[in-house]
Structure 1
Amino acid sequence: MSAQGDCEFLVKRARELVSEDPWAAKAWLITARTLYPADFNIQYEMYTIERNAERTNSAGRLLYDLFINFPEQPVVWREISVITAALRSDCQDKHGQFLRGLFETLPARVQCEMLLKATEQCFNTLEKAEMLLLLLRRFPESVVQHGVSLGESLLDAESVEDLDTPVNCFRKLFVCDVLPLIMNNLDMRLPASLLYKYMHKATEFYISYVTRGPSADGQMQGPQEAVLKSPGLPRGAQRLVIDGLSEKSSVVSEPWERLLDIVAVVGSRCEWQGDKSCRSYMELLQRVKEMCRYLPGLEGETLSRCCGQVVTCAALVLFRCAYLYTSAVQPSLFHGQSSVASGPWILLEDLSSVFGDVEPERAAGKHAHKRRKLADGREKTTSSDDEEAAGKGRGRQILLSKAEMPGWAETLDSFRTARDSWDLLHSHEALEAEFNKLCAGWKTESWLWFRIFLTDMIIYQGQYRKALSSLLQMATFQPEQALVPAGGGSLENHRVLIQQASCHYALGEHRLACEKLLEVIGGLVPQSQDSGRSSEEPGRVKARPRKGNDLRLCPCTSKSILSFGLQMMLACFKLRAFADSRDDLALGHVIVLLQYDWPQGESLFLKSVDKICQQGSFQYENFFNYVTNIDMLEEFAYLRTTEGGRVQLELLPNQGMLIKNPSPTLGVEFNPLLLPGSQTADRHHTVTRGITKGVKEDFRLAMERQVSRCGENLLIVLHRFCINEKIILIQSLP
């Protein structure tokens, strides 16, 4: 029998005895190894038996012998691949623990050499990087030799793969795993340009990770495909690696804190001016604010270094605070936030003072009004639930309801800090140029969440024409970048239209404002319950006349947007209704709109009545379609009485033609209308002839029918008014 045949016989015999008598099998193999010390199959069989029995120390010694004596055997590298896959995986099953323990039995020198050679056996960048990272973690002294080359290979692979987001497996591995090893190794001597490059790559990754959309799953783009393409990795090892990658790539904990740590290290290594290892973003901003005072006197390399520090720190604060603000007002844009946040909110012009520009004493004229609720002692107060929060900055306020927005103080503070950072970055030509270069590299123009902040900031600054341009850009975003995911609320999708309406109103372009707003209102569904507001309704915003042009964060709900729309239309038509020239149509629209938030608009309504009395007549054929307020109905009924001035009212369709061309009458006298609650009805009847008798009878019947409608849902009535009269509302504005 040949030597090869003897070896095969001995291995076969040992294999047969393993299940029955493992010690006998082991004896056979020891004998075989003594006879044939250079035979690979005998030694590999010995290793297999010890490995399957999970005897760590003996299996480790045999693996060491295999690695030293047979480094070219493919089977050996398959074993090493399985072991290194277990080392890279976070899986804690029993077999994985055994494989990690087996590796630990090897001498450190052999471990290092084995990992280096295992790296050379890898067939794709990701697998090779994972293997090399394992080496760097176990042997920190190797970071100096392999750290930068590993980082560059990952960044190059990202470019080659042409991935569409920085949140991918290559960038994550570089930023979260490789970069900390490089940054924290004091033996590394890296140029400032490379440190800035790595810091900016990390910043882009963390910002993109935090602001990723709601459809983003936990796994980074690319890892499974990269592993499965590796032809040299056994199926079991592939599974271990994929499981490990999935676990490690699903969550990046405390991204903002990690980013702050990287900035602190870079600042220390680059010897930033005034660097005191700041531990908060506000400290970063405060430090660079102080530095900016000296910028005008700097030049050359000193100016360049200073600009790099200021732009880096201020940009980090800007993007972080802009994210905190946008995530509060538009939470559905971000992964994992829409289910817990209270938004969305929209920054609009504050119209709560639309009723307050008419002083009570101005409302009293020659006409003695039927009802005066303003004098009945019911003052409008602000409860603790309704207290408004005022934002800081430039004498302009952002108003909102504390009760409706938890965390309102933090939201407004984030908005203010982001504005301060933006102003700082644009306070010097060199800073602005460096910041624009940074934004171009990160393609921030495609960040919808940042565009929302920028638009709100521009609105706050009062640059409404520029804000309209920004809103137009926002409206052109690709469908996949829509404001909300599929199935989201339509109001959020109409955010652009609502803010466009607000900007047009602020510019005095009332027709354009109403066009945009009525387009949104047409898609609203009013609440089924009665939404008429009383002065005691909790959470309601009180009308409080203010100096200046304030803004308000409004909840993006049908109720709030309809309320804003009605107030805006009232503000637009009020200017025409109370102008010196007569405009009964605008005045009629004002009366309809004043029903909302009653009795806040009562003083303005009484001013409307005064104007009607001064005119001596009033024509508005939609009166009975949309006016259901009992106080208003009583006042109009009173206008037709002798005490009310016998005002000529043309409130029925085609009624104007009848009154303007009456037939001769005898003994014509107004019959005052007796309404429920009216205290001024005449007690006698008159005989009336001619066509005006029919007119007065129609008016009386119409008024009686209208009184029966006073219990209708006011929001539904006003919503119908906006839809049915859309064309005439728009056409009646300049």
Structure 2
Amino acid sequence: MSPVSFDPNSVTDEEYLVLKAKSVLSHDPCAAKAWMITAKTLFPSNFGVQFEAYQIEKSARSVKEAAKCFGDIFKNFQEERELWQEIQALTTALRSENGDSNYSFLREMFSHIPQDVQRDLLLVSADRSEDTMEHCRLLLLLLRQFPRSVVEHGPPLVDTLMTAEKHSHYQNAVNCYRKLLVCDLLPLLGSSLVELPAKQLFRLLHKSIEFYLAYLMLPNKTIEDLPDVESKIDDPWKNLFAIQEMTAKKLGWELSSLSSGTWSKDSYWQKLLQFRQTTVQTDDPTYMKHMILLYYTTTFFLFCLHEYVVSLETGVGDMPLLLVEAFCSRQDQEDSIGEPKAKRRKLDGDESSTPLITVAKPPVGQSVPPVVHNYIMAVRCWDLLHSTEYLEREFTKLSQHLRLNNTWLQGFLIDTAIYKGKFQEAIEKILFQETTASTDCLQKNLRLASTYHCLGQHSACMEHVLQIVNALPVPVTSLQLSLSLQQPSRSGRHLHYLPMHRTQILQYCVKLLVSALKQSLSKPNVDADLIMGHIFTLLQFDWPLEEDLAIQLLERIHQHGSFSYSLFQTYIINVDLLEEFMYLSTEQGGSVGLDVVPTTQTVSQRRISTRGVDKGVKEDFKQAMKRQAARSEEPLDSLIIKFLGNERELLLHSLL
């Protein structure tokens, strides 16, 4: 820096001393400091001199000297505009975690200012601020720096933030004022001795639950009128449980330490049950214990519900999951060909009627999502909240206050209706559910197809299956999953979390239709050959998983002695099935009459037999089978989708 030149006759004495200091600062800092000490001593009431001394210490990065100068200036010159510009920079640095060198210097300098000056500086800054948000930020800064001031300034700040939010007319609980109240102020109140009225504590707990619930539902997690860095909230549930614990302690609740320390969903649930069994059943005219149970169970329910929704969305192999009614392989629940299906047990019984719930095993290296555990915990909480008239009534009020009627709850209630075997109720909820995205429509049709099948309304099931196959997603990846669509179940019911992947969805639709066609086959006066032909066509997609069913059907054909299916040549291409039909046509296989391929003979309706006059027909049959086998490499998903679309009327006729 070049020395500062000036005309001594054209400046005041104060300016002269300052300029002399500046002129030697670059090459003789000690001399510059001496000049400024002289200036400060001679002109203690001159703001320009005092502020320039501060600026010189700041430029020299002299933390302690700069702090001393700044503290003196604040005490004596609080009306100066330049001072407040510097104070604004200082408070900005204190609120920021920015590693900028200027910010770091200001933060360090502030730490060397006497604490009484620090406190006054922040308090006066807040009082001078005309902007409500800035006023609140500065008071929060004061409370963080001086926790003892929470008792005095905390409750008024609560009122200020709630009033500001009310008058700002935000349409959502996720806004800048609510964020400061819930995330920044309430933890400070909780760690202090401040006392708040019980009514206000309940109100703050409500606002906290509502805020975090709405925040977690935001797709972009951005809070209006806040910078992105302040919009990010680490571990919202941990924060909410901490607020609940703070509220409980200040209200003297018995469960105030329920979520403290290390805990799991299972241990939390067991403590809730113990509390319910030991205290709620006692006479309590104030219903306080019921209120404790209500809030703790509601918060835990929302936590489990959120975890459930997340585990559905993340799914397996990056594929979302959907709960559907699957199939049982238990012997006494399987359908015997030609026999009536055993009636399902009602869910409203003992634990043996609880459905088996499975989820597809993910690819190697990935863990099984905790979707089943999250769902069961949410159901338990839901049932507890509806276990008494009082709890149900108060939970309904609380839900309305929290605006809980959202997509999370709608999907959960649909799943729960299915889980409890209330299929008609499930259909009503599914039809009521709004859908926008194509994935929502696909899931809606899957749920409807599954539920109509459970009600035995197979034509309606078929209509939704057709809508599903017309909207199947294009596979973005090839998933190698271990599917569990058919499992043994003591209850006779099996639910499965189906991955929203093209192959898995089509497999489920195929099994729905196979199950429906099997039931139709047991009815009198049906075209058994047509139904069995449809089943053979569908079984190819899962082959050889349904080989046992194919063997039963082939045995029925063998016993009947004949089989006719005009669509055989169009859709049956599985080599194993073709070999079985070839065998049935032989003498060893029973010389079954098969009308499944067109012949070149004049009488096209003749069936294959073992008589010598039919040698030409048998040769035509063999050649036709070879042509069928040559198509065995055709993609089965395209074949099945073509079959379902082209033969819609025949399928519906078979299902009626």
Amino acid at match of 1:585: L
Residue equivalent to 2:334: 357
Contact 1:112 1:139 (C-alpha < 8 Å) held by counterparts? yes
1:539-569 CA distance string (max 9 Å, x none): 3548555451221122222221111111110
Rounded Cα–Cα distance in structure 2 between residues aligned with 1:716 and 1:81: 68
| 1:182-233 C-alpha deviation (Å, 9 max, x unpaired) | 11212x12122222222232233334444542xx15x533124xxxxxxxxx
Q: Is the 8 Å Cα contact of residues 577 and 590 (structure 1) preserved in structure 2?
A: no
> What is the match of residue 273 of structure 2?
289
Distance 1:631 1:81, change over 3 A: closer
The unaligned stretches of length 5 or more in structure 1 are 225-245, 333-339, 363-391, 483-489, 532-536, 663-668, 673-681
Which residues of 2 match residues 12-161 of structure 1 at below 5 A?
Answer: 12-19=19-26, 21-161=28-168
Percent sequence identity over aligned pairs: 32
Greater mean alpha carbon deviation, residues 171-180 or residues 25-34: 25-34
Q: Residue 300 of structure 2 corresponds to which residue in structure 1?
A: 317
Q: Which residue number corresponds to residue 398 of structure 2? A: 438
State the shift of 1:697 in Å.
Answer: 6.5
Which amino acid letter does the alignment assign opposite residue 726 of structure 1?
A: R
Q: Match for residue 469 of structure 2?
A: 521
8 Å CA contact 1:352–1:541 kept in 2: the answer is: no
Which of 577, 588, 610 is 2:533 aligned to? Answer: 588
3-state secondary structure, aligned to 2:496: strand
Give 1:190-269 correspondences, 5 Å limit. 190-213=196-219, 216=220, 220-224=223-227, 246-247=228-229, 249=230, 251-269=232-250
How far apart, in 1, do the equivalents of 2:424 and 2:336 lie?
Answer: 33
**CA displacement at 1:436 relative to structure 2:** 1.6
2-structure distance, mates of 1:525, 1:299: 56
Alpha-carbon contact 1:354-1:571 (below 8 Å) kept: no
Please name the residue that 1:626 is paired with: 571
Rounded to whole Å, the distance in 2 between the matches of 1:655 and 1:316 is 75
Say if 1:460 and 1:551, in contact at 8 Å, map to a contact too: yes
Q: Assess, with a 3 A threshold, how the Cα gap between structure 1 residues 727 and 159 changes in structure 2: closer, same or farther.
A: farther
Alignment partners' CA distance in 2, 1:670 and 1:343: 49
How many Å separate the matches in 1 of 2:497 and 2:94? 52
Q: How many angstroms apart in 1 are the aligned matches of 2:188 and 2:62?
A: 34
Deviation at 1:119, TM superposition (A): 0.7
Letter in 1 for 2:323: L
- Structure 2: which amino acid aligns with 1:196? F
**Residue 52 of structure 1, CA deviation:** 1.7
8 Å Cα contact 2:258/2:268 also seen in 1: no
Find the counterpart in structure 2 of residue 576 from structure 1. 520
Q: Secondary structure at the match of 1:399?
A: strand
* 1:600, distance to aligned residue in structure 2 (A): 4.5
SS in 1 for 2:543: coil
Is structure 2 residue 542 aligned with structure 1 residue 597? yes
SS at match of 2:327: coil
- Structure 1, residues 392-447: CA drift from partner, whole Å, max 9, x if none? 8853211234455955484322221111100000111221122122221222222x
Equivalents in 1 of 2:467, 2:199: separation in Å? 52
Contact 1:641 1:670 in 2 (8 A): no
**Contact conserved, 2:356 with 2:489, CA < 8 A, in 1?**
no
User: Structure 2 vs 1, CA of residues 696 and 527 (structure 1 numbering), >3 Å: closer, same or farther?
Assistant: farther
For the structure 1 residues 67 and 321, does the alpha-carbon distance in structure 2 shift closer, same or farther, using more than 3 Å as the test?
Answer: same
CA contact (8 A) 1:522 1:722 kept: no
SS at match of 2:195: coil
Instruction: Name whichever of 136-145 and 154-163 sits farther off.
Output: 154-163
Matched, 1:326 2:302: no
CA distance in 2, matches of 1:530, 1:414: 27
**Aligned residue type for 2:209:** T
Provide closer, same or farther for how the CA distance between residues 99 and 455 of structure 1 changes in structure 2, counting only shifts above 3 A: same
SS in 1 for 2:472: coil
Query: Aligned partners of 2:36 and 2:76: how far apart in 1?
Result: 17
Q: Does the CA-based 8 Å contact 1:521-1:719 persist in structure 2?
A: yes
Distance 2:22 2:84 in 1: 22
Q: Name the counterpart of 1:452.
A: 411
Could you say what secondary structure the match of 1:551 adopts?
A: strand
Q: Work out which of the residue numbers 532, 553, 562 in structure 1 matches 2:506.
A: 562
Change (3 A) 1:592 1:15: same
Q: Distance between the aligned counterparts of 2:299 and 2:430, measured in 1?
A: 24
Pair 1:74–1:545, CA change in 2 (3 A): closer
Q: List per-residue Cα deviations over 1:228-277 (Å, max 9, x = no partner).
A: xxxxxxxxxxxxxxxxxx54x25433333333232222222212246555
Give, in whole Å, the separation in 2 of the partners of 1:528 and 1:47.
63
d(CA) in 2 for partners of 1:183, 1:18: 51
Q: Is residue 209–residue 402 contact of structure 2 (8 Å, CA) maintained in 1?
A: no
The letter for the 1-side match of 2:382 is W
Q: 1:491-506 to 2 correspondence within 5 Å?
A: 494-506=442-454
- The one-letter code sitting in structure 2 at the alignment partner of 1:496 is K
- Maintained 8 Å contact 1:167/1:220: yes
In the TM superposition, residue 91 of structure 1 has moved relative to its aligned partner by 2.2
* Change over 3 Å in CA distance of 1:642–1:119 after alignment to 2: same
Shift of residue 647, structure 1, vs aligned partner: 5.0
Give the direction of change, closer, same or farther, for the CA distance of 1:17–1:670 in structure 2 (3 Å limit). closer
The 1:171–1:658 alpha-carbon spacing in structure 2 relative to 1, beyond 3 Å, is farther
Q: Which amino acid aligns with 1:318?
A: F
Q: Partner residue of 1:399?
A: 358
| Worse-superposed segment, 89-98 or 5-14 | 5-14
Distance 1:519 1:54, change over 3 A: same
Q: For 2:11 and 2:115, locate their aligned partners in 1 and report how far apart those are by CA, in whole Å.
A: 35
Q: CA RMSD in A?
A: 3.8
- The structure, 1 or 2, with the larger RCO (C-alpha pairs under 8 Å, 6+ apart) is 1
SS where residue 185 of structure 1 aligns? Answer: coil
Classify the secondary structure of the residue corresponding to 1:633: helix
2:624 to 702, 708, 718: 702
- Deviation of 1:122 (Å): 2.1
Contact 2:337/2:522 (<8 A) preserved = no
Q: CA deviation at 1:708?
A: 2.4
**Alpha-carbon offset, residue 48 of structure 1:** 1.8
Aligned to 1:686: 613
| Equivalent-residue separation in structure 2 for 1:261 and 1:530 (angstroms) | 43
Letter in 2 for 1:686: V
**Alignment match of 2:422 (pick from 447, 458, 463):** 463
SS of the aligned residue for 1:595 comes to helix
With 635-644 and 575-584 compared, the bigger mean Cα shift is at: 635-644
1:676 counterpart residue number = none
Partner of 1:348, secondary structure, is: strand
CA contact (8 A) 2:154 2:189 kept: yes
Amino acid across the alignment from 1:289: L
